[in-house]
Structure 1
Amino acid sequence: MAVVFLLYVVAEVAALWAVGSAIGILGTLGLLLAGTILGSWLARREGGKAARAFMETARSGRSAHNEVTDGMLIGLGGLLIMLPGFVSDVVGLLVLLPPTRGIFRRAWLRRIEKRARSAPNVRSPFQGGVIVVDSEVVDEEPKQPKNHPVIEG
């Protein structure tokens, strides 16, 4: 994981250096600001759409795993947009746009399914079976012990 983070930082610095060399410091800062504004607007718009789709799916009683996954990906895209740098902005915009978000969603769900199959002892509550919980009924007000008088005062 440390290697991936290091590669990410190197890629961001290289992208900033390349863009800064091509268009200058003010142009680079302007592009970063424009990407942030565009990305936050897109994240808000797509987040609202995902929330409405989730509510509609939940009301109809269908499984909303695609809508939940879209909401999580939109959150990730919004976070990537807020990070400074061109690489994170491009990846964030790709995650926020509906056509490419579908590709990310399918890849993410495939990875989750693969990990679930490789975990042999983990049981999902949706796989059936009965869970028994041992419990005890307790009065709301505790009773006073018989040997001790109640002192009021």
Structure 2
Amino acid sequence: MILLIIALIVLAPLVELYILIQAGAAFGALPVIAACIATAALGGLILRAQGLAALARARRDLDEGRAPVEAVVDGAFLVAAAPLLMTPGFVTDALGFALLVPPLRHAIARAALRRIRRSIDRGETRIYIARRR
């Protein structure tokens, strides 16, 4: 797993750089730079609106006495989308925008929660709860 993470850290910027260079050669530097800035700005606006909606859902769940697990996981994916959208490059933008599409984000969140629950059920994951003094 650690080798996969290291490979992604090394390869992802190289892939992004290659794609940016190819796009710059095809369309010119200014349009590519403008596209990077525009996707970051648009992503920030969408992220703000959806982040506030996720926060409202979490508050509503708490008010109704339910644990806001789905709203928190949804918010975590929105937080993950932010740096992807702010990073220059088309691959990271595509991943970031994918996390902003509610049906796709919810499907990924459900899959992640299933995997976490399975890991807890198998005893592979431990949850520690800190108590206030």
- State the TM-score, normalized to the length of structure 1: 0.74
**Structure 1 segments (4+ residues) deviating >6 Å:** none
1:70 matched to 2:74: yes
Q: Is the 8 A contact 1:40 1:81 kept in 2?
A: yes
Superposed, 1:3-152 pairs within 5 Å as: 3-119=7-123, 122=126
Cα offsets for 1:69-97 (capped at 9, x unmatched): 01111111112111121111110111112
Cα offsets for 1:98-147 (capped at 9, x unmatched): 1211122122212322332343583666xxxxxxxxxxxxxxxxxxxxxx
Q: Percent same amino acid at aligned positions? A: 29
Alignment gaps of 5+ in structure 1: 126-153
More helix by share: 2
CA distance in 1, matches of 2:93, 2:124: 38
CA distance in 2, matches of 1:121, 1:70: 21
Q: Give the direction of change, closer, same or farther, for the CA distance of 1:14–1:120 in structure 2 (3 Å limit).
A: closer
Q: Give the direction of change, closer, same or farther, for the CA distance of 1:28–1:48 in structure 2 (3 Å limit).
A: same
1:2 matched to 2:42: no
CA distance in 2, matches of 1:30, 1:103: 31
Size of the aligned set, in residue pairs, is 126
Cα offsets for 1:40-64 (capped at 9, x unmatched): 0010000010011111111001121
- State the TM-score, normalized to the length of structure 2: 0.84
Q: Is the 8 A contact 2:81 2:100 kept in 1?
A: yes
CA distance in 2, matches of 1:25, 1:87: 17
CA distance in 2, matches of 1:58, 1:39: 28
1:6: Cα distance to partner? 1.8
Alignment gaps of 5+ in structure 2: none
Q: What is the alpha-carbon root mean square deviation over aligned residues?
A: 2.0
Give the 3-state SS of the residue equivalent to 1:119 in structure 2. coil
1:36: Cα distance to partner? 0.5
